Structure 1
Amino acid sequence: MQEDFLHFIWKYKRFTITDLLTVNGEPLKLIYLGQHNLNAGPDFFNAQLIIANQKWAGNVEIHVKSSDWYVHNHETDKAYDNVILHVVWEHDTEIFRKDNTAIPTLELKNYVDKDLLHNYTTLMQSQAWINCETDFNSVDEFKFQNWLERLYIERLERKSKELHQLLKISKNDWEAVLFKMLCKNFGLKVNGEAFLSLANSIDFSVVRKIRHDVLDLEALFFGQAGLLEEEIQELYYIDSQKRYQYLKQKFQLDNLGVIPLQFFRLRPLNFPTIRLSQFAKLYSTEQNLFSKLMTLKTKEDYYELLNVDTSEFWESHYTFSKSSKKLKKSLSKSFIDLLLINTILPIKFSHSKSIGNRDDDVLFSLIKSISVEKNSIVDKFLSLRQVSKTAMTSQSLIQLKTEYCDKNKCLQCAIGSQLISKNR
């Protein structure tokens, strides 16, 4: 038995609430069970109840055993002076206030249905990939879809906190935050952190000043990434070295904290040289990129805006020293989808929230228009249940697995809650 299960029982009234008696035989009537407190202090604030015709207003504390009151040293904590009811699974000792009057106690085990306890125990003792793997497909579809939408908003809220940390560092410059997050996601999983360290090494004011020249931007990015330190007899490479040395001296740049880039096991189109050239092309082509991205509303609009390629040199190269068949290397729609999922939509959510202009309908419309992501977590969930194959589903399922299933937070999950409450 865990306290969080008792919190669940109390919060959602999963017990017989009529004809209640305290352990001393006094009739107990519940008016308001209180507000769940997830921080320090009593478990439920501002409850209202009637004990033996006397109305009480105050806090409720919940324990597995009555004696846990003393184990947790509540008798010396003033925060618990206003507790009007002690709710326990098992009553094993009397608890007294400072004036030596006993705190009324309700022993829950006498009022909880055996099916509820059986369902909870079965779920929490599961050794499957997720606790509810066997019954995952049985959850009501309407509740399931609502839960997925809530999970997606939760995921956006978590990313929003990260973005606001970057916003503080960038002195409330949303353009600078966008630059860093886009750069990170241009690096994909393999080079994401390296690309972010590269973006962090450059003050965005430098990008603003030189963005009119794509070759300057490329030289800046390649130089900060440490890719211009060899002796390669190629005119483009030599020119990039000269440009970078000028920019480095002019803007007092250093790249001491930049993480080395990886080429190993990457497809040529995902080489960091190609992605950095495309990134430079985007910023040299689009002025006021942030405001444009925030106003677009359809996936097709984003495809059109982000349809950028490389500079001419990289049409016939993947690395500095070896030429290849000439090919236009534009951002693919699947790559733009990743930028939407991981960068643009989280920033759109965070920015609209910061200015008090949230429009979740637009976000849901956009995320649902993108195809489902493919990874081991999503694939496993899809094998358990038929769901709509959109990016909102995949983002929600990732949130479900990492923040609920992996942490055994079934009681806070709409799926777990329904399975625990079902009748056998």
Structure 2
Amino acid sequence: MKEDFLHYLWKFKKFETLNLQTTQNESLTIIKTGNYLESSGPDFFNAQIIIGNQKWAGNVEMHLKSSDWYIHGHERDVAYENVILHVVWEHDTEIFRQNNTEIPVLVLKDFISPDILNNYNLLMTPKSWISCEKEIAQINPFVFKNWQERLFFERLERKSKFIFNLLEETNQDWEAVLFCLLAKNFGLNTNGNTFFQIAQSIPFSIIRKESFETENLEALLFGGSGLLDAEKEDVYFTDLKIRYFYLLNKYQLAKTYADPLEFFKHRPDNFPTIRLSQLAALYNKHQNLFSKIVELKSIKKVYELLTVSAGLYWQNHYQFDKESHKKPKVLSKAFIDLIILNTVIPLQFAYAQKRGELVFEDLIDFMKEVAPEKNSIIDKFESFGLISKSAFDTQVLLQLKNEYCNQKACLKCAIGMELLKNN
């Protein structure tokens, strides 16, 4: 058993509240359970209770055993001096404040029904993948829909923290934030950090000034990646290298050294050379890209905006000095979908938050136009009967798995609480 089960029982009063008694056989009446705090300090703040004929206002602390009070060192922490009730599963020792007054104790297991305990044990019994894998597809649709929306915005809030940090670093320049975010996501998981380092090493004011020549943008990006450090006979390579050192001198930039790029784990169309060229092409095609992206409301408009191709050289190359069969290197629909998930939607959400605007329904509708992601987590949920029809569904399931199922946080999850109530 975990303490969060006690938190759940207390917060929702899932126990017999009449005829409560402390371990000292005094009657106990709960007026207010208090505010649940998921931070340091007592578990519930500003509770109100009556013990005997005395009304108390203060905090409530919970442990599986009374002796955990001393194991956690609460007797030395002034934050716990205002605890008016110690709620435990088992009482194995008396607890005292620093002034030597005894803290009343409620043994919760004496006042809960066997059904609730049985439901909890069923829920927490180890399963092959997640605790509710046999029941999740049968959850009340109303409960599940509301929880989906909550999970979706939790995921966006997490992503927006990264954006707000970037905003501080770029002196509130949304265009610069977008450039760094796009670079990171163009690099995918393998090269994302290196692409991000490259973007951060180039002041965005220079990207603005040089955006009218794709080759200059490529020179800055390839140079910052270290791909121009070698010696090659390739004419295009040589031209980019000359441009790069000219631009370093023109803008008084220091030569930077990003982490090495990874080619081996990618299909050729995802080689960093191709993605960097496509990123340069995007900024050559669109000035003021941020203002265009935050106004997007339909999937069709996104595809129109972001459909670009790598430069002419890359139509028959994947790497410098190695010619290949000619093939246009256009951003695919699947890749643009990833940019929508990881750049467009989070950026729109963060921008709306900054302006105090409500765009919840718009973003949900937008996400429901995007095709569902395909990965092992989504496949596993599908095997349990949860079929994803859009990226809204898949983003929700990823948040659920990573932040709740993997953390065994069933009692913070609407699905877990519903099962605990209904099993």
Calculate the TM-score normalised by the size of structure 2.
0.94
Aligned residue in 1 for 2:193: 193
| CA distance in structure 2 between the aligned counterparts of 1:336 and 1:12, rounded to whole angstroms | 44
Deviation at 1:214, TM superposition (A): 1.0
Greater shift, 271-280 or 52-61, is seen at 52-61
Deviation at 1:160, TM superposition (A): 1.4
Aligned residue in 1 for 2:209: 209
Aligned residue in 2 for 1:362: 362
Aligned residue in 1 for 2:223: 223
Q: Cα deviation per residue 1:213-242 (whole Å; 9 max; x = unaligned)?
A: 111111111122222234433332222121
Aligned residue in 2 for 1:332: 332
Aligned residue in 2 for 1:27: 27
| CA distance in structure 1 between the aligned counterparts of 2:255 and 2:245, rounded to whole angstroms | 13
Taking structure 1 as reference, are residues 20 and 319 closer, same or farther at Cα in structure 2, changes over 3 Å only? same
1:318 match: secondary structure: strand
What letter matches 2:216 in structure 1? Answer: D
Aligned residue in 1 for 2:107: 107
Q: Cα deviation per residue 1:332-365 (whole Å; 9 max; x = unaligned)?
A: 2211110010111112111211221131111111
1:169 equivalenced with 2:169 (yes/no): yes
| CA distance in structure 2 between the aligned counterparts of 1:230 and 1:399, rounded to whole angstroms | 43
| CA distance in structure 2 between the aligned counterparts of 1:99 and 1:324, rounded to whole angstroms | 82
| CA distance in structure 2 between the aligned counterparts of 1:328 and 1:343, rounded to whole angstroms | 24
Aligned pairs (5 A) from 1:90-129:
90-98=90-98, 100-129=100-129
| CA distance in structure 2 between the aligned counterparts of 1:411 and 1:350, rounded to whole angstroms | 29
1:3 equivalenced with 2:24 (yes/no): no
1:50 match: secondary structure: strand
Taking structure 1 as reference, are residues 269 and 117 closer, same or farther at Cα in structure 2, changes over 3 Å only? same
Aligned residue in 2 for 1:81: 81
Q: Cα deviation per residue 1:42-68 (whole Å; 9 max; x = unaligned)?
A: 111111122234332221111222233
Aligned residue in 2 for 1:67: 67
Q: Cα deviation per residue 1:107-132 (whole Å; 9 max; x = unaligned)?
A: 11111121222222233330421122
Taking structure 1 as reference, are residues 262 and 70 closer, same or farther at Cα in structure 2, changes over 3 Å only? closer
Taking structure 1 as reference, are residues 203 and 94 closer, same or farther at Cα in structure 2, changes over 3 Å only? same
Aligned residue in 2 for 1:407: 407
| CA distance in structure 1 between the aligned counterparts of 2:230 and 2:56, rounded to whole angstroms | 79
| CA distance in structure 2 between the aligned counterparts of 1:294 and 1:319, rounded to whole angstroms | 34
Aligned pairs (5 A) from 1:157-306:
157-306=157-306
Aligned residue in 1 for 2:418: 418
Q: Is the 8 A contact 2:198 2:221 kept in 1?
A: yes
Q: Is the 8 A contact 2:208 2:287 kept in 1?
A: no
Deviation at 1:189, TM superposition (A): 2.4
1:227 match: secondary structure: coil
What letter matches 1:405 in structure 2? Answer: C
Aligned residue in 1 for 2:393: 393
1:314 match: secondary structure: helix
Q: Cα deviation per residue 1:135-167 (whole Å; 9 max; x = unaligned)?
A: 222322221222122111111111111222222
| CA distance in structure 2 between the aligned counterparts of 1:162 and 1:47, rounded to whole angstroms | 36
1:372 equivalenced with 2:372 (yes/no): yes
| CA distance in structure 2 between the aligned counterparts of 1:15 and 1:234, rounded to whole angstroms | 77
Aligned residue in 2 for 1:311: 311
| CA distance in structure 1 between the aligned counterparts of 2:370 and 2:185, rounded to whole angstroms | 17
2:319 match: secondary structure: coil
2:102 match: secondary structure: coil
Taking structure 1 as reference, are residues 98 and 265 closer, same or farther at Cα in structure 2, changes over 3 Å only? closer
Taking only the aligned residue pairs, the percentage that are identical comes to 52
Q: Is the 8 A contact 1:316 1:327 kept in 2?
A: yes
Greater shift, 405-414 or 254-263, is seen at 254-263
Aligned pairs (5 A) from 1:34-53:
34-53=34-53
What letter matches 2:123 in structure 1? Answer: L
2:382 match: secondary structure: helix
| CA distance in structure 2 between the aligned counterparts of 1:84 and 1:334, rounded to whole angstroms | 57
Taking structure 1 as reference, are residues 24 and 324 closer, same or farther at Cα in structure 2, changes over 3 Å only? same
Deviation at 1:34, TM superposition (A): 0.3
Deviation at 1:247, TM superposition (A): 0.8
The gaps in structure 1 that reach 5 residues or longer are none
Aligned residue in 1 for 2:148: 148
What letter matches 2:257 in structure 1? Answer: G
Deviation at 1:375, TM superposition (A): 0.8
Q: Is the 8 A contact 1:201 1:255 kept in 2?
A: no
Greater shift, 365-374 or 225-234, is seen at 225-234
1:263 match: secondary structure: coil
Deviation at 1:98, TM superposition (A): 4.9
| CA distance in structure 2 between the aligned counterparts of 1:238 and 1:246, rounded to whole angstroms | 12
Structure 1 vs Structure 2 CA RMSD: 2.0
What letter matches 2:281 in structure 1? Answer: K
| CA distance in structure 2 between the aligned counterparts of 1:230 and 1:53, rounded to whole angstroms | 84
Deviation at 1:99, TM superposition (A): 5.2
What letter matches 2:59 in structure 1? Answer: N
Q: Cα deviation per residue 1:272-310 (whole Å; 9 max; x = unaligned)?
A: 222111111111111111111011111111111112122
What letter matches 2:105 in structure 1? Answer: T
Q: Is the 8 A contact 2:127 2:133 kept in 1?
A: no
Q: Is the 8 A contact 1:367 1:392 kept in 2?
A: yes
User: How many pairs were matched up?
Assistant: 423
2:318 match: secondary structure: coil
| CA distance in structure 2 between the aligned counterparts of 1:92 and 1:44, rounded to whole angstroms | 22
Q: Cα deviation per residue 1:59-112 (whole Å; 9 max; x = unaligned)?
A: 111122223333333333322222222211122333344555433322111111
Q: Cα deviation per residue 1:189-214 (whole Å; 9 max; x = unaligned)?
A: 23222211221222212211211111
Greater shift, 129-138 or 388-397, is seen at 129-138
| CA distance in structure 2 between the aligned counterparts of 1:71 and 1:188, rounded to whole angstroms | 45
2:94 match: secondary structure: coil
What letter matches 1:393 in structure 2? Answer: D
